[in-house]
DNA sequence: CGTGACCCTGACCGATTGGTCAAACTGTTC
DNA sequence: GAACAGTTTGACCAATCGGTCAGGGTCACG
């Protein structure tokens, strides 16, 4: 029950030895990362055990540690490999595009990701909640750079009068908060709404309305 | 560094033995709960250890277990005692009041709580993130009841034309998401904004604007 | 089909963790 | 101040955890 594609080729090594990476290696590293995503996102770093990950991946514990030197290394590989995917929609925001359309597209894409990749969302949420001890300053400074860059774009749009004046940083935070809420607090949302349709289906028109009203001058 | 008031008297027992609760008992249970809030909110349930809690409380581990039968029991006492505090602002929403004012007041109070009680927010976030295994159906059904009740009030306001038409459940979710984001993802918010003023100071006017625009017909 | 590199595992280890217990200590009450 | 309930602790335990290791199995390639 863990048979997805893990589109990651792992050329990531600092120095020399770039062995071509066996077929078995590719398969098993993929299985481990998929299992680790499942287990880490559901239990957090400390709550997850190597035995769980090994069982979920269908491998023995020593075999898992044959492919990754430690539990921490698995976690890092996961986070590092996923961060780009996670930030891609924001990167894709086009300064040349129509302002409201660009921001709405970003919001909708993030909401889509909450539906399609809730485990990834929870993985990051877990990490940040505990003070981001394992993702730390390096990635956080990349994040800051990207956000500052896009905030400047939004400010420019506002200066042109093409967007209602709002604090761009908090606008971005609000997109994160509102979309990721449906992935991170899924159980609570479902508990309140009761059984039935996908909560995100109801969220989509609400968020459309919310951001339309916020951004229209 | 853990000297706050813990306003909880703990009459909570199902059946008979209601001993008057010694002075020492009141003090030490308070110390333990305060320490547990600190440790659980920072590390999650599984990430927290009894030794950490004992050290933070300034007690020995066996002494902690003299006052609470298990780590789980401490966690439950914390969550149970805090849930009322957490939901009080929503309970306080007055059906007789002016609609936008009531909702704005609720939002502002929640934001205030993110500033003043971030540990409590993270405690709940941790619990819900992991699927709420220890808070479960009982509390979730209380929560649903309360939210459904208030959603009905909001719907009534909308029917009267005193509020712009919005999905009341998702409106409440949006208040939760936007306000708690600043407590739960504090490190990320600060990393992006850079060092300086309290992020919530910047959030307050933004959220005022956002909800004003959303709710004005 | 042989051989060397790669892959896999059972058994094991030391550290940590939640929890126990007997014994000692302290506060309170008559 | 005797006596008893209430409080505290060092020593200890069983289970779990991340990680190691020696040895055996398997794959690809000549």
At A154-174, the pLDDT tens digits run: 999 999 999 999 999 999 999
Nearest to A194 among B144, B193, B209 (CB): B144
Q: In angstroms, rounded to a whole number, what is the distance separating the alpha carbons of residues A148 and A189?
A: 31
CA atom of B62 to C1′ atom of C25, Å: 15
Q: pTM surpassing 0.80?
A: yes
A vs B: CB pairs below 8 A: 158
Q: What is the pLDDT of residue A140?
A: 74
- Per-residue pLDDT tens digits for B91-147: 999 999 999 999 999 999 999 999 999 999 999 999 999 998 888 766 678 999 999
Whether residue A189 is predicted with pLDDT greater than 60 in this model: the reply is yes
Note the helical H segments in chain A. Answer: 23-47, 50-57, 61-67, 71-91, 99-116, 118-129, 136-159, 168-184, 186-193, 199-215
Listed range (B2-11, B135-144, B156-165, B205-214) with the worst mean pLDDT: B2-11
Q: What is the DSSP code string of chain B?
A: -------------SSS------HHHHHHHHHHHHHHHHHHHHHHHHH--HHHHHHHHTS-HHHHHHHSS-HHHHHHHHHHHHHHHHHHHHHT--TTS-HHHHHHHHHHHHHHHHHH-HHHHHHHHHHHHTT-TTTHHHHHHHHHHHHHHHHHHHHHHHHTTSS----HHHHHHHHHHHHHHHHHTHHHHHHHH-SSS-HHHHHHHHHHHHHHHHH--
Q: What is the pLDDT of residue B139?
A: 65
Strand D nucleotides within a 7 Å radius of protein CB atoms: 6-11, 16-22, 28
Strand C: protein residues, Cβ closer than 7 A: A 19, 22, 24-25, 28, 59-63, 66; B 23-24, 48-51, 61-62, 65, 69-72
Between chains, do B210 and A205 touch, taking CB under 8 Å as contact? no
CA atom of B51 to C1′ atom of C19, Å: 12
Chain A hits for B45, Cβ within 8 Å: 47
Q: What is the pLDDT of residue B25?
A: 87
Q: Where do the domains of chain A lie, and which CATH numbers do they carry?
A: 6-77 (1.10.10.60), 82-215 (1.10.357.10)
Q: In angstroms, rounded to a whole number, what is the distance separating the alpha carbons of residues B88 and B90?
A: 5
Question: Residue B72, CA: closest nucleotide via C1'?
Answer: C18
CA atom of A22 to C1′ atom of D27, Å: 11
Q: What is the pLDDT of residue A135?
A: 84
ipTM for the predicted complex: 0.90
Question: In angstroms, what CA-CA distances link B30 with A11, B60, B98?
Answer: 53, 15, 39
Q: In angstroms, rounded to a whole number, what is the distance separating the alpha carbons of residues B161 and B216?
A: 10
């Amino acid at each position: 029950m863990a048979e997805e594609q893990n589109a990651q080729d792992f050329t990531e090594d600092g120095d020399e030895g770039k062995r071509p990476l066996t077929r078995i290696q590719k398969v098993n590293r993929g299985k481990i990362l998929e299992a680790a995503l499942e287990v880490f996102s559901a239990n957090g770093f400390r709550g997850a055990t190597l035995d769980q990950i090994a069982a979920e991946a269908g491998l023995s514990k020593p075999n898992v540690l044959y492919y990754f030197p430690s539990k921490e290394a698995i976690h890092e590989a996961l986070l590092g490999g996923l961060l780009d995917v996670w930030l891609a929609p924001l990167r894709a925001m086009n300064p040349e595009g129509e302002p409201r359309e660009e921001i709405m597209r970003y919001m909708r894409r993030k909401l889509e990701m909450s539906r399609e990749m809730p485990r990834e969302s929870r993985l990051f949420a877990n990490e940040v909640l505990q003070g981001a001890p394992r993702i730390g300053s390096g990635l956080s400074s990349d994040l800051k750079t990207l956000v500052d860059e896009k905030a400047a774009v939004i400010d420019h749009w506002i200066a042109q009068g093409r967007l209602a004046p709002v604090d761009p940083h908090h606008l971005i935070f609000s997109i994160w908060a509102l979309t990721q809420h449906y992935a991170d607090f899924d159980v609570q949302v479902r508990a309140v709404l009761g059984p039935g349709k996908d909560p995100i289906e109801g969220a989509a028109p609400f968020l459309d309305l919310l951001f339309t009203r916020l951004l229209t001058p």
